[in-house]
A and B are shown apart, each in its own frame.
Chain A
Amino acid sequence: MADRRPGERSTVSRAWYLLLLLPFIGLLWPPFYAKDAPRLGGFPFFYWYQFLWVLLGAGLTAVVYWATTPRRGGRR
């Protein structure tokens, strides 16, 4: 990364990476979601819950990307 930050701020930006653990927790413990009800649009919970995690996982990664990528010039 181009600009080295002072220690304090880089610790804050490192904490963002913890968000990336959430998909592992949400998906690698099937007892959370191995059930039929409630259904959504005909989809059993088991299926729509995991589809929801595709969006959540991508969203979390995007958040971490924006939070940890150094900005240049006038943008933010």
Chain B
Amino acid sequence: MNGVALAVFIFFFLLVTVVGFVAARWRRADLGHLNEWGLGGRSFGTIITWFLLGGDLYTAYTFIAVPALVFGAGALGFFALPYTIIVYPFVFLVMPRLWSVAHKHQYVTPSDFVRGRYGSRGLSLAVAATGILATMPYIALQLVGIQVVLQGMGIGGSAASTLERDLPLFIAFAILAAYTYQSGLRAPALIAFVKDTMIYITVLVAIFYIPAKLGGWGHIFDAAGQTLPHHTPPGALILPQKQFVAYSTLALGSALALFLYPHSITAVLSSAGRNVVRRNAAILPAYSFLLGLLALLGFMAIAAGLKPATNNLAIPELFNKMFPDWFVGFAFAAIAIGALVPAAIMSIAAANLFTRNIYREWLRPDATPREEASMAKLVSLVVKFGALAFVLFLKTEYAINLQLLGGVWILQTLPAVVLGLYTRWFHRGALLLGWAAGILVGTWMAWSAAFKSVAPFTLFGLDTTVYPALVALVVNLLVAAVATPLLDAARADRGSDETAEADYREEAAPPIEALAEGPGSRS
């Protein structure tokens, strides 16, 4: 065990714990209301939103898994970069419309919008259930991220007793659960400042310091190019032709799915205006640049001659080998804190969905805002400990497989949520049929491909591999498009639409300038 690294690690962990609890007093408001606890009062300006979304989307698991994939497979793993580039033009176009209509009608979740737009409880329930199911394994993977880092410091590991292995993880998560319960979305928003700063420092130091010790970038890429073909299965430094379709569909499918996840939408809706969202689409790519550099750490691990037990340990082992002890502690703390921000927001988002679209919609229609908030707080605890139990008692593999399926599933809400922002052409019944067809096809494809991220596919007589989520989305759209005229011909009820075209372009009440300020503008 590395004592210095551990001490630095614990120091930063305690720091964010304090920040998490203090957050309850930040921009003080009545946290007994779901709009405040679950959306931070929809008050965050450009800078807070940048830190919050950055801390939310680029998760600890990403920091471990992307370089691990590049370490193992080479170029294919780099799809994370085009994915996180093309997502922002999409966000720039689509998310301001969602922000506006949600602000106008006080929607807290995407299901609230679907309920209002289509007057359909069934479709709204489908969207809510998909969101919750896709989020749970994602939270579990944040724990896996912490576990990998702890293992890198020599805590736990396969030889350790159950108590020694799981206790630190349990403590970390209990603390997280406590301050999320108390402070709501304000906690991850404030902690995101610490997290993102630490991640930027870690990556910038890594990309200057490590190549200098390994003989430069050219040498790193050459070493990767020589080693990758000998991996099983063989990797490649430059994307081979047979992976072109896999690469593009992974990038496009992941990009379209990212902002359908409840935790992304929660962060978008917590911002103070549609122009805050638009500005962030232009400045969030800074994190993508960071992610691309981080992915290259996988090649550095190859050039350093590391042979980790699992690919996920490539980055912790690289840091252990290259950095002085105190900086190892700093870098590991950055990743572990990196897990806390998304885990908190994900549990809040899942809690919002359950409270608004299942509890209030189906179980207690007359719940007061106060009852909603206390229900959401409770659910956020249940969700987190569910994820913890998942990681402690089941194989990590299941969490990874389920997270992959979650990506496939969440993309199937695109027609109802995203296309719904533009048109009411689709029949609500047709959208539900399309959703079901997409889920079935996507799940079946992922299942038969043994949960690899890409599945075999024959396209125009050419055998290739493809991201199942995108194929499922095409099936989904076809079913919805064919069923719409059929249901209309059968005079099936289209449901009422409580939104008007102008609602999708509504500005926030205060003038634009007042929203541009950073932290403290309301205090």
The total of interchain contacts (Cβ-Cβ below 8 angstroms) comes to 109
CB of B200, distance to nearest CB on chain A (Å): 15
**Complex-state Cα separation, A58 to B288, whole angstroms:** 10
B78 at the interface (CB under 8 A from A): yes
Range of interface residues on chain A? Answer: 35 or more
B405 at the interface (CB under 8 A from A): no
CB of B471, distance to nearest CB on chain A (Å): 16
**Complex-state Cα separation, A46 to B93, whole angstroms:** 28
Cβ contact of B92, chosen from A20, A36, A39, A42, cutoff 8 A: A20
A54 touches B289 (CB 8 A): yes
A42-B221, A54-B285, A57-B89 given; A28·B275 CB < 8 A: no
Cβ contact of B217, chosen from A20, A23, A43, cutoff 8 A: A43
A69 nearest in chain B by CB position: B275
A62 at the interface (CB under 8 A from B): yes
A57 touches B296 (CB 8 A): no
Cβ contact of B218, chosen from A21, A34, A35, A42, cutoff 8 A: A42
A28-B82, A42-B220 given; A58·B278 CB < 8 A: no
Chain A contact surface mostly: helix
B85 touches A53 (CB 8 A): yes
CB of A60, distance to nearest CB on chain B (Å): 8
**Complex-state Cα separation, A43 to B224, whole angstroms:** 12
A24 touches B78 (CB 8 A): no
Interface residues of A in 38-66 (CB under 8 A from B): 39, 41-44, 46-47, 50-51, 53-55, 57-58, 60-62, 64-65
Range of interface residues on chain B? Answer: 35 or more
Cβ contact of B88, chosen from A30, A34, A46, A58, cutoff 8 A: A58
A39 nearest in chain B by CB position: B218
B89 touches A29 (CB 8 A): no
CB of B273, distance to nearest CB on chain A (Å): 11
**Complex-state Cα separation, A41 to B238, whole angstroms:** 17
B282 touches A51 (CB 8 A): no
B239 at the interface (CB under 8 A from A): yes
B238 touches A51 (CB 8 A): no
A9-39 vs B, CB cutoff 8 Å, 1 = contact: the mask equals 0000000010011011001111100111001
Q: Name A's B-contacting residues (CB within 8 A).
A: 1-2, 17, 20-21, 23-24, 27-31, 34-36, 39, 41-44, 46-47, 50-51, 53-55, 57-58, 60-62, 64-65, 69, 72
Q: Name B's A-contacting residues (CB within 8 A).
A: 75, 78, 81-82, 85-86, 88-89, 92-93, 216-221, 225, 237-241, 244, 247-248, 251-252, 275, 278-279, 281-283, 285-286, 288-289, 292, 296, 505, 507, 511-512
Between-chain CB contacts (< 8 Å), 12 pairs: A1-B507, A23-B85, A27-B82, A28-B82, A28-B252, A30-B248, A34-B240, A34-B244, A50-B78, A54-B292, A57-B88, A57-B89
6 tightest Cβ-Cβ pairs between the two chains A and B: A42-B218, A42-B217, A20-B89, A27-B82, A58-B285, A61-B282
